[in-house]
Amino acid sequence: MKRYSKFILAIVVVLGGVYYRNELDIYLSSFIRILYNENVNNNNVFTYDELARYNGIENAKLYLAVLGTIYDVTKGEKHYAKGATYHYFVGKDGSRSLITGDFRDETKEKDHVLDLKCSDLSALLHWKQTFKQKYTEIGLLKGRYYDSQGRETPYLENFNRKIEQCKEEKEIAKKKNQEYPPCNIAWSEEEGTKVWCTKNSGGIARSWIGVPRQMYSPGEDTPSCVCVNTEKHHTALLKEYSNCVNTSTVCMTNI
């Protein structure tokens, strides 16, 4: 009987060990996975000081950030190594200087871009796309665009909203150009400034020619020259050029 009881107890111990081992393996695997993911996230988010070390001097690699995203530009060292034309950008986010051309800006505003024009922001996105295509993306920079967990900051959210606003404004401008195409403009010492309209003036192909008019836009100090289809448009924002027949497709101005 004792021998039988010991046998049963041994089976229970073995089965219990197998069961709890499986449970332990599950918990251990989960812990390792969580720990690994945290390390990956932390390693992919750099502080300003950490990024600054990847300058080709303290660290052989060359890293730079554009709009908070970090790229390894080591293979482009002829452009980014110390003494090269674009070494300024290494070890920092100098997004603003990609537009201003100020390669001596070491202020806290060197990655501030929300006050730039839509065309400048579009150029910045083009720069970022270029880096993405040519170089390896390393991670994110904690600061203006991302927090310590790699999440978007309110600043980046505002940036994205402004990009969408710029796209809308571009569409509005495109429709405006279709309706009021820009004039052709030329200047010479002999004649002064000449404005004229054709079926392709302003790069806008159309079936009508139009006549030059001065368009006054809210917020603009000076008018712009646009070609107007007089059969369809009559607005107070349009003004005829002085000393020019109102049906002429060519006008001379004193500007």
What is the Cα–Cα distance from 216 to 222, expressed in whole angstroms?
Answer: 7
Query: How does strand 45-46 pair with strand 136-141?
Result: parallel
Domain architecture of the chain: domains with CATH: 48-172 (3.10.120.10), 180-253 (no CATH)
- What's the pLDDT tens digit per position in 143-167? 999 999 999 999 999 999 999 999 9
Q: How many angstroms separate the Cα of 211 from the Cα of each of 18, 27, 62, 184, 220?
A: 90, 79, 56, 11, 22
Contact 56, 81 (CB under 8 A): yes
| CA dihedral sign of residues 64, 66, 71, 74 | negative
Q: Would you place residue 38 in the very low, low, confident or very high pLDDT band (cuts 50, 70, 90)?
A: very low
Q: Is the pLDDT of residue 23 over 60?
A: no
Q: Is the pLDDT of residue 35 over 50?
A: no
pLDDT score recorded for residue 237: 75
- What's the pLDDT tens digit per position in 61-107? 999 999 999 999 999 999 999 999 999 999 999 999 999 999 999 99
Angle among Cα 210, 216, 220 to the nearest 5 degrees reads 135
DSSP tag of 40: H
pLDDT score recorded for residue 115: 97
Contact 208, 230 (CB under 8 A): no
pLDDT score recorded for residue 11: 54
Dihedral pair phi/psi, residue 146, rounded to 5°: -135, 150
Alpha helices, DSSP H only, in 45-115? 48-52, 77-80, 97-100
pTM: 0.63
- What's the pLDDT tens digit per position in 209-225? 999 999 987 777 889 99
Which H/E stretch holds residue 254?
none
